[in-house]
Amino acid sequence: MDLTPYMTDARQQQNQNPQYQGQQNAGTGDFNHSYSAHNEGNATERYSSSNQALPNNARSPYPPLNDQQILNIVKGAQLVYYTRTSYLNDNTASTITYVNFCANGTFSINYDGSFMVEGSYGGNAQGASYGQSSGRWELVNYQGQPAVYMLFNDGTSTVNPFNRQNVIDGRWRIGNTQYALVRNKVHCQ
């Protein structure tokens, strides 16, 4: 699958997408919005937001990764990944996520997702979600392998090990998820 059409500045996409209008202005905070319903008329909608910011001295507890080539690829790059259900599955679900790695050590994540499940006896359920998160990122050495440490503004963190050659190549696939990394794509303030 070619992800080139989806390689956009996530903030630009947000400003052009009507579903974001009125919910949250780009750059004013993190938020998650989800909606789900099933054929019996019950629906659930959830919205949460946060305007927290991390102190500039927030750092990873792991040793830094001393790999200038990978750092030069990742800083200012946009990672887009798309996940879908198997072609052999009658139910459908997909998500697309944009991760912007700013050269100043900050990141922003924007995502959109949806699902539809049909039951054996005519019942169904469907839903959608979208949101954004932000924080600080660092390349680290995690249990002997390269990883991206992401510290979110709400204080949670993730460690994401990666294959060095995949980052250099800029495209890879794992299961039903396709990844593409475009260098010098992100313009951060």
User: Within the chain, where are the H helices?
Assistant: 10-16, 68-74, 164-169
pLDDT higher than 50, residue 26: no
- Strand pairing partners for 31? 49, 132
pLDDT one-digit tens code per residue, 57-78: 668 899 999 999 999 999 999 9
**Sequence spans of domains, the chain:** 4-182
Do residues 134 and 109 touch, judged by C-beta distance below 8 A? yes
Question: In a 3-state reduction of DSSP, which class is residue 6?
Answer: helix
The pLDDT tens digits of the residues spanning 69-128 come to 999 999 999 999 888 775 555 566 677 888 999 999 999 888 877 656 666 666 666 666
What's the predicted TM-score (pTM) here? Answer: 0.68
